[in-house]
Structure 1
């Protein structure tokens, strides 16, 4: 498995970010995001997906070729006669091949992040579809060698050629893991029907587990049934419009582009730090920019005067790693800024404290208690906050808190949603709340 950027040495990280494959893809990401924002009709989406599919298959093929070389060199065997050209380094050096493979792994994830942005846009930014269709294991890299891939591509093309409908390939994304294809049928007055397909290359073969997941996902979306999975989860409509303070992030990045970094307060007693790695490197040099980042963050915390436990989430190295989070490609930023977030040349962190968070919820009449023990690791299922009201209690875990920070969610509107959730929630069920008018937040 490719290590996280934070686990790499400074030299390795620098070589990875500057690798030609990585730099070239950074420019390609800008073009993809611009093109996606121009997708309005079925034909637009079909054309966009074809281009993304071509890029995805090419990158995954290149990854497979380098993986084959790495396996041979590990066994101290000679390079295969049909080995690909190594772009940077010595073709007989195993570590140089590993670097190139790591660069391609990052490029592949960045393209999947674009696929996620396409999915969110196709679903009109309705988070319910992501909640329902993410609840499965990742299918792994999309390649023509994988059984069923060609069949799915042919199905997608047939939907367009015969019915004039856009069919979304799930394997080109990271967030869609149930079913193989979603078909969108545009109707009059801007309405659309959504059809979920689990395709089989052999019509006589039935895979009951996959079909059951697909059925449960459809029922969760259309009749309020349980979400797929063992945790007795159900979607809850808060009826509250979703609002954020993401305009502050846009302003912060604009200033970071000029000055290297920018810190500011965000409503809800949160501290924001935006960092432009290229601009900072040009201003201070590679080693000094790290020191400037940590100094600015420390100064921000002093100004915020945070008490209790400090909670911080950052954007770094997260493209196509979190199926619940909106992809950077739909954030209301300039295309180059979105691409910078995907490629980790732009990063940001948002920090708040447990005391301030409880205080903010109390202003909205919510009885909340911070239950994360001091020093405890915040795992995916680790309880963080309990919220009580209307004779019910809900527990908030990492995912909910991460959303509030990285999406700069307006805490007042979110608290109103939690109050509605406590009114509507059913005992014994894990509620997954969603808000209305979310499309107004994103691009």
Structure 2
């Protein structure tokens, strides 16, 4: 597991974000986001994926080279003759090589986040495909040393040359983990066929587990069957048009760019704090910046009267770490702002109270109970709230709550969606809701 930024000493964190590789990739992210927004045809997506593939393979190869050097130095051996150049530091110091490896891990993750944005755009912002195809372990870094990767790239090229179809490589993303490739075939009139492929390099090898996951994902999408996995989950259409308050986030990030940090109210009794690290660094030293942040956050909580049990999520260090999360690259913000969120030079935090969430559900006739103990740390699969209505109940865990908070979802819309979810509930099934017209938010 790659180290989290919050677990790093301040000097190492500073060295990481200021490393030339990290800065260069920050600029490259802006270009990728601009180019992705211009992707409309199959040819556009094919060209975009080729460029992203080159950058991804280069970053993963560079990290693998540094990992090899680190292993030799830890054994007390000399540098290999073909060792790459260390960009910053002493080539004899293993910690300097570790820093560069950590930087490249982050660069690779940032590029996978762009891959996720490409996937969401290719699927026309239909969350169902992400919910279905995310349910598997990560295949690890994409590299040409894997026979399967070479075969998948060749298959994608063949689809374009022979059929003029865009074939999306799943391993270039973080969120697509079932199947190897998705092919998009244009049917005219703005319609498309979406075909999921599980490829085999050896046609005689049986891969029943992978094929079963692929079949279940396809059935979940097209016939309402259970999603892959042991939790008996199903997709449930709420029919409620999705809505968010992204304009508040855009305003807050713009003001933070001028002032260093900015706090704002979000409809639904939520508090938002946005931080522009470069702008803050221009105004204050590190100690004063931290003091300003904590003072602004405390004032925001008092102003919003968020004094009971609080729910707080931050954008920080989350790129390509959560397969359910909408990637920053498709947020309706300026490309530089999206890139800043991916690279963690822009950070925002949203806070609301558990009571306000329960009250909003109550307005729609639902009985909600907050079950996370006061002061307890929210674990990944830990139940945090139980919602009851229409003879059914659903348990909400961290993932659903994080989605609600960081997407600045409209709480009334979300509560109506929960009402429809319970109306359509199926006994013994864990429902995963999706809303209508999401493309109007993200496109």
User: Do both share a fold (TM > 0.5)?
Assistant: yes
- Kindly tell me the number of residue pairs found equivalent between the two proteins: 443
Q: Contact 1:263–1:274 (CA<8 Å) still a contact in 2?
A: yes
| Cα deviation code 1:304-362 (max 9, x no counterpart) | 11243111000000000000000000000000000000000000000011112112222
Q: Contact (CA 8 Å) 1:178, 1:214: kept in 2 or not?
A: yes
- 2:378 & 2:274 partners in 1: Cα distance? 23
Deviations 1:141-187 (A, max 9, x none): 00000121110000000000000000000000000000000000111
For residues 321 and 303 of structure 1, what CA distance do their matches in structure 2 show?
A: 32
* Aligned-CA RMSD value: 0.7
Corresponding residue number in structure 1 for 2:264: 264
The answer on whether the counterparts of 1:306 and 1:356 sit within 8 Å (CA) in structure 2 is no
Q: Does the CA contact (< 8 Å) of 1:314 and 1:406 recur in 2?
A: yes
Deviations 1:356-381 (A, max 9, x none): 21122222222111111112221121
Equivalent residue for 1:69?
69
Conserved? CA contact 1:307–1:354, under 8 Å: no
Which residue matches 1:189? Answer: 189
Match of 2:206 in 1: 206
Give the corresponding residue for 2:129. Answer: 129
- How far is the alpha carbon of 1:233 from its aligned partner? 0.2
Instruction: Please state whether the residue corresponding to 1:186 is helix, strand or coil.
Output: strand
* Deviating more after overlay: 135-144 vs 278-287: 278-287
Is contact 1:307–1:356 with CA below 8 Å preserved after alignment? no
Return the alpha-carbon distance in structure 2 between the equivalents of residues 141 and 199 of structure 1: 18
Residues 301, 307 of structure 2: 8 Å contact kept: no
Distance 2:426 2:307 in 1: 34
Partner of 1:425: 425
Alignment-derived partner of residue 149 in structure 1: 149
Find the counterpart in structure 2 of residue 303 from structure 1: 303
Q: How far apart, CA to CA, are the structure 2 residues paired with 1:307 and 1:100?
A: 42
Measure the CA separation in 1 of the matches of 2:75 and 2:425: 57
In structure 1, how many angstroms separate the alpha carbons of the residues matched to 2:356 and 2:50? 47
Q: TM-score, normalised by structure 1?
A: 0.99
The DSSP-based 3-state class of the residue aligned with 1:256 is: helix
Q: Which runs of 5+ in 1 are unaligned?
A: none
| Corresponding residue number in structure 1 for 2:381 | 381
Query: For 1:336 and 1:289, how far apart are their aligned partners in 2?
Result: 22
Aligned residue for 2:124, secondary structure, equals: coil
Structure 1 residue runs of 4 or more that deviate by more than 3 Å after TM superposition: none
- Cα displacement (A) at 1:286: 2.7
Q: Which residue of 1 aligns with 2:347?
A: 347
When normalised by structure 2's length, the TM-score is: 0.99
Which runs of no fewer than 5 residues in structure 2 stay unpaired? none
* 2:3 is the alignment partner of 1:8: no
Deviation readout 1:182-226 (Å, 9 max, x if unpaired): 000111110111000000001111200000000000000000000
Taking the aligned partners of 2:251 and 2:266, their CA distance within structure 1 comes to 12
Distance 2:206 2:163 in 1: 26
Name the structure 1 match of 2:391. 391
Q: Tell me the equivalent position of 2:89.
A: 89
